[in-house]
Amino acid sequence: MSALVARRRGLLALAAREADRVLKLWSQTIAAPVLASFLFIVVFGLSLGGRIRGIGGVEYEVFIVPGLIAMAMAQAAYSNNSSSVFQARADRYINDVLSAPMRPWEVNLGLAFGGVVRALAIGGALLVLAITVTDVPVRQPLVLALAVAILLVLFASLGVVVGVYAETWDQAGFVNNIVILPLSFLGGVFYSVELLPSPWQEISHVNPIFFLINAIRYGFLGTSDVPVAVALGVTAALALACVAWSATIFRSGRRLKA
């Protein structure tokens, strides 16, 4: 074990640095997103839940919890890694990391670790708060764990890729503000896509985040607008594509130095 730790001390040090960066700024990186998402549960779920009929036999305040947790975790994993990698390039700190005796996959994994820690912290805190006010169940824990793992891989890798390609802070935040957030809202966070008329129901199936939200919702509630195998398969394919893209960047070394 000690020999393994010694061989991977560079990876462990880089991962610890990224995690420490998240935890030191916990009020911004964890508390603020948790509060924002919890307010959605309170305002839309508890305040309006009595006026909105249940969806698929599930109370509205319970129905929206999985989507809100998925959206918060996806945004956290992406935002953390895109900003961290971009700042590392802008400050030329990345040059020191690249010169360290680490393999490309170790650098890639180490830089992505902060987003995973941040997303898990936010997801865990939201789950605890949601359970206390809505009694949201976890009916399929294994499916939920798999869906969360795919979410983390997908958006942590995407954040690293965008952080490498971004030339300005605006570009680093563009994907989150213009792509991830709108697609999350349109992916069925607050409603079931089955309630939409044609052609909007069919158009929703083009949205990749729709499948992610349904995979997470199935893990919590045991219900989904699409077969859970399809939801997991689509999101897993996207995650593998992002991982392959990220791995290619670090193997070639292109664009890593600002």
List pLDDT tens digits, range 75-98. 999 999 999 999 988 888 888 888
Mean pLDDT, to the nearest integer, of 31-44?
Answer: 89
List pLDDT tens digits, range 200-231. 788 888 899 999 999 999 999 999 999 999 99
pLDDT of the residue at 48: 66
Q: Give percent of the chain above pLDDT 70.
A: 93
List pLDDT tens digits, range 232-245. 999 999 999 999 99
Average pLDDT, the chain: 89
List pLDDT tens digits, range 184-195. 888 888 888 887
pLDDT of the residue at 96: 82
**SS3 at position 191:** coil
Query: Are 30 and 122 spatial neighbours (Cβ–Cβ below 8 Å)?
Result: yes
Mean pLDDT, to the nearest integer, of 29-37?
Answer: 93
Instruction: Report the C-alpha gap between 103 and 130 in whole angstroms.
Output: 41
* pLDDT band at 168; cut points 50, 70, 90: confident
pLDDT tops 60 at residue 258? no
Dihedrals φ, ψ of 226, to 5°? -135, 160
* CB within 8 Å of 214: residues ≥ 6 apart: 188, 224, 225, 226, 228, 231
pLDDT of the residue at 11: 86
Rounded to two decimals, what is the model's pTM? Answer: 0.93
pLDDT tops 60 at residue 181? yes
pLDDT tops 80 at residue 247? yes
